[in-house]
Amino acid sequence: MACAVTHGIRVEVTSEFLPQHSSASAKRYVFSYTVQISNESESTVQLKSRHWHILHGSGRREEVRGPGVVGEQPVIRPGEGFEYSSGCVLSAPHGTMHGSYEMLGDDGDPFEVEIPAFVLAIPHALN
């Protein structure tokens, strides 16, 4: 599990290879990842947007930006959390992802929260 805490917002990420949706011959490796966001601060925050950096094991790089996550822009009160799952398709059997969320504090000021780097890899790909 990868973990980062920024301004009292904890982001934890786990990932899993999905062999049933992948094809080595097509160079299509599908992964799911689950993100748990916990508000350990004293202020209510809203997740406004995401910015991902995706690095395929082949060296290919991608950036993904967009509003919210999984169609939502959740409001997270102190002591509460939000969890979601999504997916990523790589052209290699391993890669990494990291990024940031733009959050809006209850004072109306935006701030960035780190999404820690995590590995996407088929079992034993990095041995």
- Could you report the per-residue pLDDT of 107-127, keeping only the tens digit for each? 999 999 999 999 999 987 665
**What percentage of the chain exceeds 90 in pLDDT?**
96
Judged on CB neighbours under 10 Å (0-12, 13-18, 19+), 47 is buried
pLDDT tens, per residue, the chain with 127 residues: 999 999 999 999 999 999 999 999 999 999 999 999 999 999 999 999 999 999 999 999 999 999 999 999 999 999 999 999 999 999 999 999 999 999 999 999 999 999 999 999 998 766 5
Q: What's the residue count for the chain?
A: 127
The residues spanned by each domain of the chain are 2-121
Q: State pTM to two decimals.
A: 0.94
Let me know: does 89 contact 56? Beta carbons within 8 Å.
Answer: no
Write the CATH number of the domain with boundaries 2-121. 2.60.40.1470
Residue 51: phi, psi to the nearest 5? -145, 110
